[in-house]
Amino acid sequence: MSFLTPITAAIAAAIAIPALVLLYFLKLKRRRMSVASTILWKQSVQDLQVNSPFQKIKRNLLLFVQLLILGLLLFAVARPIIQAEVMPGKRIVILIDHSGSMNAKDGSPTRLDDAKSAALRIINNLDIKQTADNENGAMIVTFAERPQVLTKFTTNKAALRNAVDMIQPTDQRSVLSLALSVIEPEVLQRTSDSSTTTQVYIISDGQVHNLNARPLAISGADLQYVRVGTPESEDPPKNLAITALSTRRDPDRPQYVQVYAKVNNYNHAKTQTSLTLRVNGKVANVRPMTINSASSDGPASSSVQFDLRFPGYARIDLAINSDDALLSDNYASTILAPAKRLRVLLVTEGNAYWQLALKSVGIRELVTMRPRKYENQDLSTLMRGGWDTSGLIGATGEGFDVIVFDSYTPSKLPPVNSIFMGGVPSVNELELKAFSNQDNLPVTGFLSWERDHPVMVSVALDDVMIRSPGWLAVPSNAKILATSETGPVLAEVKQDGRHYLISAFSLLDSRWPLHTSFPVFVDNAIQYLGLGKLAEQSGVSYQTGEVATIPVLGKDQIQYTGPAALSTAEPRQGLAILDRFDRAGVYQTDSESVEPPFNQLAVNMLDAQESNLATIDRLQVGASAVQGQSTQSAITREIWHLFIWGALIFLLIEWILYTRRMHI
């Protein structure tokens, strides 16, 4: 139990308690009277002794009762609060945070262990009875990057305990809003069927992310926040964290690599440490670092750069050489890929603009093919790494990174990231809305374009005119890249793990090739579609909680070994989707179906908020009434009203004692 206004209560106590006791020291002022008998002298002497200001106070039951009443009122003034752990109820939902910060070693031995112990205490003290519809049961839900329902509402305490015991730690970030959205349908359904409010316990250290930047809320529930970890009033555990890692190859000298890292200091003191760089397991460099102390505005940080000469594949590992409360963020890795020049297939009846633009962006090899010949190809041979035929089109057996379709739509969707200029492939919900009069197409300009998209960086379309046959109707997961006066004309569509850039107009129906923005667009598009993550950096790495899509050659599932077991789904069109990453570290596979750099997967935490081990004392969550009017309030329970009721009860007792004493 803690107090919201302890200072106010202490000041009131310093005034009220001495004043009450002083009343019992006061001597009554009596007037002289003549009486006919001395039988009342004994009682008069006793009254004088009781009210003598310099005599020791004798036992007085009224004084103790009044002091007790005053103490209860002062406790109410201090506004005591509790973070209820075992409050019985008919319906209980227990949300347990098992994100990266819950692995901090300021618990018994970690915060997650304390959270599981708190959940077990709640379960052990539940007063629930079996009903036909399990209306008054309990429900266990864990949350990190995604929530997971471990048990539906049940009255079986053994099943609830087993679910809690099976909770495993993760290095993911903590997203509470998704967990609340998962349990809200259950809460609303049972609230509508009954007048009883569902009790929701959130067991966490309070370091939670809010994806939509709106107040967290849930209707029809009474929320209790059970905090674990070092209290906010105390200094948080010591922690240093690698919060950023990237690699870049020199564009002019691709054998040279620059490795950038950022280290945050969450300690309230200047900290000296060192950062070790390993290449393929061997120490390449050790860099000493001095980082300023954290402040009320946030952690202090320091950046470091390493320069390497390594032209091929390599595993890059960084490690902070210090021991602190959270080890997962002391390490970060990336798989360095070699300098790669792309192979591009151009399918066209003939277009010199495309050939000049593609050759100018520095691709390794450009192969040109007519549409009729393309239709006779085995699509699986077009994928990079899957070229195993006799080279019918003059290729070297390596497949292609990108395919460009010029004013032509293939009968089947290609299994390679592609550009469709003047053709719309058969993608779900994608359609070209054409004008009825194709002989008199309008000439329009661009109204807007997505300047922040990698494909449109440094691409200016202000003075580009096009003769548009219509506009694009795109699916919900598409990204509109450019809009003309007629509607969307350039978009990115994703299907089966592939990226397709779609243009509603043909290149020859515009003057775009005559502008400098066209080769810039081609360079951006080829790098984005052909290199993926390598377009922005030379290393391949992932964050915990992320889902990875990897290229594979076969059709069998792939197994990875590492900090946690990983398996892929059944590959489709040369791509396999991995399970969501739970733990940070490096995962490896021996399968020959996976080519470098994807035979090793570097997974890092790299989350500045999750590495912040300061706990939050009051978690702000919106709790609304059954009517659905959501209001923001702190989910701590004030119990001052209980002390008020106690004071009233003892006031009644004091009145009874006083009237009995005054009765003659």
Q: Name beta bridge partners: 571.
A: none
Quote the pLDDT of residue 145.
93
Q: Is the pLDDT of residue 342 over 70?
A: yes
The Cα–Cα gap between 338 and 539 comes to 9
The pLDDT of residue 551: 82
What's the N-to-C CA distance of the chain in angstroms?
Answer: 46
Most confident listed range (154-163, 228-237, 360-369): 154-163
If 0-12 CB within 10 Å is exposed, 13-18 middle and 19+ buried, where does residue 415 land? buried
pTM for the full predicted model: 0.63
Decide if 106 contacts 232 (C-beta within 8 A).
Answer: no
| Amino acid (1-letter code) at residue 5 | T
**Greater pLDDT, 294 or 71:** 294
Strand partners, 154: 138
Which of 629, 656, 647, 611 has its CA nearest to residue 99? Answer: 611
Alpha-helical regions (H) of 91-134: 111-124
Per residue in 573-624, pLDDT (tens digit) is 778 888 899 999 999 998 888 877 788 999 999 999 999 999 988 776 654 3
Mean pLDDT of the region 187-195: 62
Pair 459, 481: CB distance under 8 Å: no
Q: CA angle 206-211-213, nearest 5°?
A: 85
Contact 3, 9 (CB under 8 A): yes
Tokens coding 441 = 């197409």
**pLDDT at 96 exceeding the cut of 90:** yes
Contact between 412 and 379 (Cβ < 8 Å) = yes
Instruction: Identify the pLDDT of residue 534.
Output: 61
One-letter amino acid for residue 404 of the chain = V
Mean pLDDT of 106-135: 80
Lowest mean pLDDT among 1-10, 324-333, 418-427, 631-640: 631-640
Highest mean pLDDT among 61-65, 187-191, 464-468: 464-468
Contact 330, 585 (CB under 8 A): no
Could you tell me which residues come within 8 angstroms of residue 288 by beta carbon, excluding any fewer than 6 positions away? 272, 273, 274
Q: Which residue has the higher pLDDT, 204 or 527?
A: 204
CA–CA gap between residue 569 and residue 578 (Å, rounded)? 6
Q: In this structure, what token pair is assigned to residue 339?
A: 């300098």
Is the predicted pLDDT of residue 392 greater than 70, yes or no? no
Which pLDDT score, from 0 to 100, does residue 565 have?
79
Give the helix/strand (H/E) hosting 61. helix 61-77
Higher per-residue pLDDT: 135 or 53: 135
pLDDT of residue 172: 95
Contacts of 295 (CB under 8 A, 6+ apart): none
Closest CA to 17 of 60, 71, 72: 71
Q: Which residues lie below 8 Å from residue 466, measured CB to CB, with a gap of 6+?
A: 443, 444, 445, 446, 484, 489, 505, 509, 510, 511, 512
pLDDT band at 533 (very low <50, low <70, confident <90, very high): low
Distance CA 251, CA 256 (A): 9
> What pLDDT, on a 0 to 100 scale, did the predictor assign at position 79?
72
Neighbours of 5 (CB within 10 A): 14
Q: Give the side-chain half-sphere CA count within 13 A for 108.
A: 6
**For residues 74-80, average pLDDT:** 76
**Token match 């997650």: residue?**
112
pLDDT, position 340: 64
CA nearest neighbour of 503 among 404, 397, 569, 606: 404
Mean pLDDT (whole number) for 533-556: 80
Q: Would you say residue 315 has pLDDT above 90?
A: yes
Q: What is the DSSP letter of 537?
A: -
Q: Give 19's contacts (C-beta < 8 A, 6+ positions apart).
A: none
Residue 164 DSSP label: H
> What is the C-alpha to C-alpha distance for residues 329 and 349, in angstroms, rounded to an integer?
54
Structure tokens that stand for 80 in this block: 């005591």
Q: State the pairing for strand pair 402-406/343-347.
A: parallel
Exposure on the CB side of residue 103, measured as CA atoms within 13 A? 24
pLDDT at 607: 94
**Helix (H) and strand (E) counts for the chain?**
10, 37
Amino acid at 88: P
Q: What is the C-alpha to C-alpha distance for residues 150 and 299, in angstroms, rounded to an integer?
A: 35
Asked if the model's pLDDT at residue 364 lies above 60, the reply is yes
- pLDDT score, position 170: 96
With pLDDT > 70 as the criterion, what percentage of the chain qualifies? 78
**Structure confidence by residue, pLDDT tens digits, 480-522:** 999 988 888 899 998 877 889 999 888 888 888 888 889 899 9
The mean pLDDT of the chain is 80
Who wins on pLDDT, 48 or 417?
Answer: 417
Over residues 22-31, mean pLDDT: 60
Ordered domains of the chain (ranges, CATH):
2-82+642-662 (no CATH), 92-234+614-624 (3.40.50.410), 240-336 (2.60.40.10), 343-535 (3.40.50.880)
pLDDT per residue as tens digits for the range 220-258: 677 888 899 988 778 889 999 999 999 887 766 777 889
* 33 to 30, 36, 180: CA distances (angstroms): 9, 10, 78
> What pLDDT score was predicted for residue 83?
53
Q: Which residue has the higher pLDDT, 138 or 57?
A: 138
Peptide bond into 18 cis (omega under 30): no
Q: How far is CA 276 from CA 285, 307, 323, 533, in A?
A: 6, 13, 14, 25
Residue 220 and residue 413: Cα distance in Å, rounded?
48
| Block residue for tokens 């959205």 | 181
Per-residue model confidence (pLDDT) at position 394 = 37
Above 70 in pLDDT, residue 538? yes
DSSP code of 322?
S
pLDDT at 452: 86
Radius of gyration of the chain from its Cα atoms, rounded to whole angstroms: 36
Token duo for residue 431: 């359609």
Per-residue pLDDT averaged across 514-539, rounded? Answer: 80
CB atoms within 10 A of CB 512: 20
**Which of 293 and 433 is assigned the larger pLDDT?**
293
For residue 624, the cross-strand partners are 219
The DSSP code sequence of 571-621 is PBTTEEEBPPP-S-EEEE---TTS-TTTTEEEEE---TTTT-----SS-EE
pLDDT band at 81 (very low <50, low <70, confident <90, very high): low
